[in-house]
Amino acid sequence: MNLRDTFRRDRVFDVVRPGTRTIKPGELDTGGKYLLYMENITVSFDGFKALNDLTLYIEPGELRCIIGPNGAGKSTMMDVITGKTRPDQGTCFFGQTLDLTRMSETEIAGAGIGRKFQKPTVFPEHTAAENLELAMAGQKTTWHTLVHPLNGEQRDRIAATLNTVGLLDRHDHVAGALSHGQKQWLEIAMVLMQQPKLLLVDEPIAGMTRQEVERTAELLQQLAGEHSVVVVEHDMEFIRSIASTVTVLHQGSVLAEGKMQDVQNDPKVIEVYLGE
Ligand SMILES: Nc1ncnc2c1ncn2[C@@H]1O[C@H](COP(=O)(O)OP(=O)(O)OP(=O)(O)O)[C@@H](O)[C@H]1O
């Protein structure tokens, strides 16, 4: 039995799943109830616990909002999932077999976890379509990527992804000329080019117009289902509008979890967060 088999979630939970297909080592196994399993994660910085026994599960296809006051541990949680920060304790599995605490950031991205950071980092001098071409190419250099002609299937994928984020009519427009909101959607499209199963989105609506916020809410709802989407956001109205399950972090642990209307009436949450 190899190391990965030893850590299989079905064996950890002793769930018998007869007749499932064989998963090769390193392959994502989405056969369990959840896509992401974070259990009892602790992260300390100089003795201060940024995450403190955090346990969180994300189902395939779900849209989850993570809220919490400044310093609650939201970014640290995302950093643990993407391999940027290693926990001192706890387990973090992607699907049944992939132990994220033992994988590099590149391996984690390759396994199907994409993250969109708060600030857009599109290539402003390239068109929207070229930005997606570069995102699809991953590690290759800009020059190498853009001089190689795309095949029909790649062109279709770029157009389909631009269409998903509502930017098909900006296909040949340079990214630098897009509005702030459009840049954010383009960057979501760039992450989608890597075909993530889990999409992590940091504060997507900061600086957006009201219309852009509404469009972003629709987009995230549309992406859920095919992807699991985890959104860290401060804006309560936005979270209410996407009406997903909400997890409230406080001092590095889960304070409350559930539907927004339940969470916002929870006295503990009112005290530490909504009442601020
Ligand atoms: N690299 C680090 N070194 C030391 N302390 C850190 C480091 N990263 C985070 N922290 C501390 O850990 C705690 C959690 O930070 P984190 O950024 O995860 O919170 P957050 O919920 O994302 O906050 P915000 O809403 O302000 O972005 C904070 O007190 C922060 O100062």
Q: ∠251-77-119 over CA atoms, to 5°?
A: 110
- Residue 52 CB less than 6 A away from ligand 1: no
Per-residue pLDDT, 11: 47
Ligand 1 mutation pick, 70, 82, 119, max ligand atoms within 8 A of CB: 70
User: Which of 38, 42, 52, 75 is the pocket-test mutation for ligand 1 (most atoms within 8 Å of CB)?
Assistant: 75
CA of 49 to the centre of ligand 1 (A): 10
Query: Residue 115: CB within 6 Å of ligand 1?
Result: no
Q: Rounded to the nearest whole angstrom, what is the distance from the C-alpha of residue 197 to the centroid of ligand 1?
A: 26
Q: Is the ipTM of this complex over 0.85?
A: yes
Specify which residues 227 forms β-bridges with.
224
pLDDT of residue 20: 53
Residue 186 contacts residue 161 (beta carbons within 8 Å): no
Residue 73 alpha carbon, nearest atom of ligand 1: 18
* 20, 65 Cβ separation under 8 angstroms: no
Residues forming a β-bridge with 51: 43
Ligand 1 atom at minimum distance from 69 CA: 25
The token pair at 136 is 């699809």
Residue nearest to atom 27 of ligand 1 (CA): 70
- In ligand 1, which atom is closest to the CA atom of 51? 14
Residues 6+ positions from 224 with CB-CB distance below 8 Å = 61, 62, 63, 244
Burial of 156 (0-12, 13-18, 19+ CB in 10 A): exposed
**Is residue 71 lining ligand 1, measured as CB closer than 6 Å?**
yes
Q: Please report, in tens digits, the pLDDT of each residue of the chain (276 residues total).
A: 445 544 555 544 444 454 555 667 678 888 888 999 999 999 999 989 999 999 999 999 999 999 998 899 999 999 999 999 999 999 999 999 999 999 999 999 999 999 998 777 899 999 999 999 988 876 556 666 676 778 888 999 999 999 999 999 999 999 999 999 999 999 999 999 999 999 999 999 999 999 999 999 999 999 999 999 999 998 888 999 997 899 999 999 999 999 988 998 899 998 886 555
Q: Is any atom of ligand 1 closer than 6 Å to the C-beta of 70?
A: yes
The pLDDT value given to residue 113: 97
**What integer pLDDT is reported at residue 61 of this predicted model?**
95
Domains of the chain: 3-122+178-274 (3.40.50.300)
User: What is the Å distance from ligand 1's center to 252 Cα?
Assistant: 9
Q: Strand 228-232 vs strand 63-67: parallel, antiparallel, or unpaired? A: parallel
Q: Give CA–CA dist 225/228, Å, rounded.
A: 7
Rounded to the nearest angstrom, the distance between the alpha carbon of 183 and the centre of ligand 1 is: 26
pLDDT for the residue 27:
80
In three-state form (DSSP H/G/I as H, E/B as E, the rest C), the secondary structure along the chain is: CCHHHHCCHHHHCCCCCCCCCCCCCCCCCCCCCCCEEEEEEEEEECCEEEEEEEEEEECCCCEEEEECCCCCCHHHHHHHHCCCCCCCEEEEEECCCEEHHHCCHHHHHHHCEEEECCCCCCCCCCEHHHHHHHHHHCCCCHHHHHHCCCCHHHHHHHHHHHHHCCCHHHCCCEHHHCCHHHHHHHHHHHHHCCCCCEEEEECCCCCCCHHHHHHHHHHHHHHECCEEEEEECCCHHHHHHHCCEEEEEECCEEEEEEEHHHHCCCHHHHHHHHCC
112 residue type, one letter: G
Residues near 221 by Cβ (< 8 Å), separated by ≥ 6?
63, 242
pTM value?
0.88
Alpha-carbon distance 59 to 265, whole Å? 24
Q: Which atom of ligand 1 is nearest to the CA of 78?
A: 18
